[in-house]
Amino acid sequence: AAAALRRGGVIAVPTDTIYGFAASAANGDAVRRLYEIKGRRAGVPLAIAVGDVRDVGTYGDDGHLREGALARLLPGPTTVLLRRRRGDAGRATPELNPGVDLIGIRVPAHDFVREVCRAHGGAIALTSANRSGETSATAAEEFAELWDACDEVFDGGAIPAKRLGSTIVDLSSRANDFAIVRAGERCDELVRVLE
């Protein structure tokens, strides 16, 4: 999987919520290809996934958060929105969400996808494995018509989730406020942790 990402490929992977399409967040051509496979409008932002909580600060500004805040939320079915780091410090291609100040970052509670991030050596752009507007997939066969567009498809079996995707929480405020942008898996539990 990591080798395919380094070659600029797009792969399909299981996560803790749904199946996703992934590409290297550092490769502009791969990010564009991911949009094409999904049929997604270019202006709709993509989230990224990293292997460990300590990697979040490489891509998003987490310096204003209370110590240990991210470790209480991640890994898990949560996407945190933070102000994006730009330039070399951010290590993501400018083609990833151009003109968008915030970036969604995940550390999935799924060993395989986290190990892929570690082996790849950086973040992966990650979006649900389906065409835009269609139902999210919790089994690889549910998006079989898109397999040929991928360089590799990794079948992790059925994912025991509700097809909600991750809960997106905006943590970009300097005042340590939070806002739920999208209620997804385990949203109620997440709100209790944040409060």
Could you list the pLDDT tens digit for every one of the 195 residues in the chain?
999 999 999 999 999 999 999 999 999 999 999 999 999 988 899 999 999 999 999 999 999 998 899 999 999 999 999 999 876 556 888 889 988 999 999 999 999 999 999 999 999 999 999 999 999 999 999 999 999 999 999 999 999 989 889 999 999 987 768 999 999 988 998 888 887
User: Can you give the pLDDT at residue 88?
Assistant: 57
**DSSP SS3 for 97:** coil
Q: Tell me how many domains the chain contains.
A: 1
Please measure the distance between the N-terminal and C-terminal CA atoms of the chain and give it in whole angstroms.
38
What global pTM score does this model have? Answer: 0.94
- 3-class DSSP string for 130-192: CCCCCCCCCCHHHHHHHHHHCCEECCCCCCCCCCCCCEEEECCCCCCCCEEEECCCCHHHHHH
Pair 38, 132: CB distance under 8 Å = yes
Domain, as residue range, for 96:
1-194
Q: What is the CATH number of the domain that holds 188?
A: 3.90.870.10
User: Can you give the pLDDT at residue 74?
Assistant: 96
